[in-house]
């Protein structure tokens, strides 16, 4: 994309998602088509924990409203890779309804 400016001071910024480029670089999406290379920042991902007791589980799907893909049955925190339209991406395009999770800031 085109150059849009520089961060000149330390600031807390919420990023919307991350992208792993073909060259292995990680980019953070700051919204409105603004991307920064992750290697230049300290960033903390968010994690999610199921609201339900151990063993009950939450289904996850291949894409938002996609076909069933699997089940998260553990209370162990899962990494959130993206958040969109009430869904969270828990990795490899596996999406679960956000309403079934508590979101944790792991700083």
22-66: pLDDT as tens digits: 777 778 877 777 788 888 777 667 889 999 999 899 999 999 999
Residues 6+ apart with CB under 8 A from 5: none
**Cα→Cα distances 5→28, 29, 40, Å:** 15, 15, 15
Rounded to two decimals, what is the model's pTM?
0.63
Task: Answer whether CATH 2.160.10 is correct for domain 46-105.
Answer: no
Structural domain boundaries of the chain?
A: 1-43, 46-105
pLDDT at residue 2 tops 80: no
Confidence of residue 12 (pLDDT cuts 50, 70, 90): low
Residue 10's pLDDT is: 57
């Amino acid at each position: 994309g085109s150059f849009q400016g520089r961060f000149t001071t330390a600031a807390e910024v919420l990023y919307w998602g991350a992208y792993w480029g073909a060259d292995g670089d990680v980019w953070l999406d700051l919204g409105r088509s603004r991307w920064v290379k992750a290697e230049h920042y300290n960033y903390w991902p968010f994690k999610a924990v199921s609201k339900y007791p151990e063993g009950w589980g939450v289904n996850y799907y291949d894409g938002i409203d996609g076909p069933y893909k699997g089940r998260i049955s553990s209370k162990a925190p899962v990494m959130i890779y993206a958040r969109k339209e009430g869904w969270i991406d828990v990795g490899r395009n596996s999406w679960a309804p956000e309403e079934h999770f508590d979101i944790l800031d792991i700083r």
